Every structure is written in structure tokens, then in C-alpha cells.
Amino acid sequence: MNYLEGAILKWFAENKRDLPWRKSNPWGVLVSEFMLQQTPVVRVLPKWNEWIQRWPTPEGLASASTAEVITAWGRLGYPRRALRLHESAKIISSEFDGKVPESEAILKSLPGVGEYTAAAIASFAYDSRALVLDVNIRRLFCRVIDGVESPRTSLSNHERAVRTELIPENDPHVWAAATMELGALVCTSRNPKCRDCPVASRCQWKAAGFPESDQLRKSQGWHGTDRQCRGIIVQALRENAALDIKEIKKLWHDESQIEKALATLIQDGLISRNVRSLYALP
């Protein structure tokens, strides 16, 4: 075990959060990974607990209606994730006898599962030596090893190769969780807590004087966006059985955005319009 691995694993053993999906089964891990996509842990925790209590198996979620799934997703954001999770539950139930697949290749064939999510499920559910690289892990390694503030937008083959060499043979899922935790809690995007970092003495970014990166991502705004408009419409339909166009137009100030939001929500399968021109959840 090298210094980097030893120091990070020791820190994790003393500082890891008590997250329920870390003690769950593969289905619980899969649900958590869908929910954690672009959503912080603090918002996911109560919703994950609700879903696992309500749908503790893929078969349970597969039997739910689309409207039930969208309503249960609540304000977690990016509700298309709920539809993809619902679709994945149906496939797991019908094609894999209710067992979450272990293979990354098979996992990537499920709706809503990309390279990172497949690796995370394989690692955390089955202790696979998968390359788990979320934004927190990538940022940590870029700073400590490469000496730059933040990773590039796209993941290069070189980055994959170098980071794969760091994965230990024993308990690789612990390494993935530890590096993710350190990046999320200490080596944060803004105002990193270097005094609390177990590998600060070996950090190349710190040694270089914390040079600013030209790769910093600008966070997308929320207020006034199409996403906010869509979210308001979906929430209104969670709270009402159906609404007509006049009622929906009262929800938002821009009529053109309303029309665009309705069209894309229908296209995405998140809402429907019946013969009476009433909008509702599917």
C-alpha cells in the first residue's frame, strides 16, 4: 500500500458519512446512483429512504404506474431520471430475474446508465475493480497528482489509464468511496479545506501555489430557465389531477416558454394531454 492510498483510506475510516446505500443491496445502490446524478447527498437521503421503503425491489418499482413514479420523485430534479429508473426496473425484473446485473457492459445497456453510473454500481454493489470517476474524484486526483485546479470537461484515455493504476486489488469499492468522500467534503471545488486533507503534503496543486485553472465549469443558472418552467409545470400536475392550458399559463410569465416546456415534457414522457386537451401526469 503506497502513501496516497494509506493516508486516504485512514482518513475515510475516521471521517466517512453514514450513508444508508453503503449498507444496502445492489438494488439500493442502483437507486442511489440514479438519484445522485447531479444532485447533492443531502437532498437524496430522504428521497432514497422513501423509495426503498416503498419499492424495496426492482419488481415493486416495475409494477408502479408512471404517474406514481413521477409523483414520488418529487422535487429531486431532472425527472427524466425517474422514468429511466422505472424503465430499468422493468428490464431488471423481466430479463434478469430481479437481480441487478454485475457486468459494466450490461449495466450500460440499461436506460439512464452511462459509463460512470455503470462503474459505480459495479464497484459499490459488487466490489468490482471498476474505474469510478465522478467529478469529486477527478478533481481530487487532478490537484494531488497533476497539479491543476480542476479536470477537463471530457475524460481522456490517458486519465483513465493513470487512474486505473491507482485502484487497489483489495476492497476497490472502499477506495472509490474514500476518494469520492475526500473530494466531496475536503477537496471541494471552491474553498478546499487543505488543512483537513490527509494528503496535502503530497498535493502538487498546493506545491505549485494553487494556480487557477482555465477548465472551471460555470454552473448553470436556474431562475428563469426552461428547466425551472418545466419543473413548475410537473409539480403543479403532481398536485392536481389535470390542468387545462389556461391554468398552466398562469404558472409562468413567458407564454413561449410554457409552450416549449409542454412540448418537451410530452416528448420526454413526463406528462400527457388527453382528448379534452387537459394536461396530466401519464
| Residues tagged active-site | 33
Report CA 96 to chain centroid distance, whole Å: 23
| Torsion of Cα atoms, 236 then 239 then 240 then 246, to 10° | -20
**SS3 (DSSP) at 280:** strand
Q: Where would I find the H helices in the chain?
A: 3-15, 26-36, 41-54, 58-62, 66-73, 80-95, 104-107, 115-126, 135-141, 157-164, 172-185, 204-207, 226-239, 245-249, 255-267
**SS3 (DSSP) at 144:** helix
**SS3 (DSSP) at 254:** coil
Half-sphere exposure of 210 (CA within 13 A, CB side): 8
Q: Cβ-count burial of 180 within 10 angstroms (0-12 exposed, 13-18 middle, 19+ buried)?
A: buried
Answer for the pair 187, 143: CB distance below 8 angstroms, yes or no. Answer: yes
**Residues forming beta bridges with residue 243, ordered by sequence position:** 279
Q: How far apart are CA 120 and CA 126, in angstroms?
A: 10
